[in-house]
Amino acid sequence: MLNDLYEAIEELSELPSEWGKPYFSQDQYYEPVELSGENLHDFKARKTGKKVCCVDGGNNKIFESPTDSVHLIRIFFNIFQGENRVKNIEPTNAFLISRFDGEKAKAELKVISGSIPISEFNFVLEKSEMDERSPVTAGHTVRKYLEWKALEYAVEEYLDEGDILVRDGVLQTTVESEREYAENAYETVEKNDVVLVGVAKTSSLMTTKNYPLIAAVQAIARESDKDMWYYHPIAINDHPDHKGEMYIVKYHPSSTYAFRTEFYREIDADVEEVLAELAFQAKDPIFLGYPYGLVDADKRARVTDEEIDYLKNMCDNVMEAPFRDKINACNAHDRLSNI
């Protein structure tokens, strides 16, 4: 069995004879640039004195049925200056109760605790805002909205001109409602002249030769004398809902990772200064090559399965039969997995 697996790995390790260009499905908005070692640039890690704020969110479902769901959502941001945490922010926790109403889902947010002031309010999610026709997708959708709200609050309350705001993920929206939250955040960033950066943990970008784009750039970099670098340009981006200037960045010379990194294109940023500060944060062995502020934000925002199991168990004795009947329509697979 292992020999067969080794052969599969060897086959998948083959490099293409040529790289082609970055590929974008909505090609009317992007003008890709041919991949080349000339687009690799050196930079050095250093402290700049700027504050760095990293924003992230997490969600996990507690209960779901074909018509209802209950999620726990957690939103968090931190603020570092060099290696020092500037401010202790408590994550904001909220329950999201969503119910189907025809082709829409009505979702009610109930804030429980936390330092980030998020108002309790109701959402109506259109079919286009849900990944599938299920109220359980409301948790992920609403969490993204709240991340933009937290980003806006962090800028207004804690950041100064030239400080760095880092969002987990790219600077792109996919539905009309998220676009409204993002635009409000962008306006706040511009008004305060804060540098907004998106760093994506994963990337599905490909080349026109059907090879992962980040892997292609890393292969090109291995043929150079650069052990810490950023790659740019990737494409001329005119997408109205994608506000990021795209880079691929290796933040530590000993890391095996490179990350898609985007700069909000309406702010005139000193790219190498910002990358230098993020690289200074990316030396922690807990995840070498990934800015520590994002590691911390991910950890503090994460809603773990252990938390969810605790909440389920605490509700078990008070759950009434009609609601139990609803959730039993969806949970048999989970019960079998735990046997």
Helix (H) or strand (E) holding 275: helix 271-281
Rounded-to-integer distance, Cα 83 and Cα 72, Å = 31
CATH architecture of 19-303: 2-Layer Sandwich (3.30)
Helix (H) or strand (E) holding 52: strand 51-64
Percent of the chain scoring above 90 in pLDDT = 70
Average pLDDT over residues 274-280: 97
The pLDDT of residue 190 is above 70: yes
AA letter at 291: P
What is the SS3 assignment for 221? helix
User: Which carries the bigger pLDDT value, residue 335 or residue 229?
Assistant: 229
Helix (H) or strand (E) holding 77: strand 68-81
Give domain limits for the chain: 19-303
Rounded-to-integer distance, Cα 315 and Cα 307, Å = 13
Residues 299-310: tens digit of each pLDDT? 999 999 999 999
The pLDDT of residue 11 is above 90: no
Residues 139-161: tens digit of each pLDDT? 888 899 999 999 999 999 999 99
Rounded-to-integer distance, Cα 245 and Cα 239, Å = 11
- Enter the DSSP assignment of 43: -
Percent of the chain scoring above 70 in pLDDT = 95
Rounded-to-integer distance, Cα 257 and Cα 275, Å = 15
- Could you tell me which residues come within 8 angstroms of residue 313 by beta carbon, excluding any fewer than 6 positions away? none
- C-beta separation of 207 from 220 below 8 A: no
Residue 47 exposure: Cα atoms within 13 Å on the Cβ side: 7
Question: What's the start-to-end Cα distance of the chain, in Å?
Answer: 27
- Enter the DSSP assignment of 127: G
The dihedral through the CA atoms of 273, 35, 168, 253 has a sign that is negative
AA letter at 185: A
AA letter at 58: G
Residue 129 exposure: Cα atoms within 13 Å on the Cβ side: 24
Residues 255-266: tens digit of each pLDDT? 999 999 999 999
Rounded-to-integer distance, Cα 261 and Cα 263, Å = 7
Sequence-distant contacts of 186-190: CB under 8 A, at least 24 apart: 186/243, 186/264, 186/266, 188/152, 188/155, 188/156, 189/155, 189/165, 189/264, 189/267, 190/266, 190/267
Among the ranges given (132-141, 147-156, 230-239, 264-273), the one the predictor scored with the smallest mean pLDDT: 132-141
Band the pLDDT of 332: cuts 50, 70, 90: low
Residues in the chain: 339
What tokens appear for 295 in the block?
């590691």
Strands 92-101 and 68-81: antiparallel
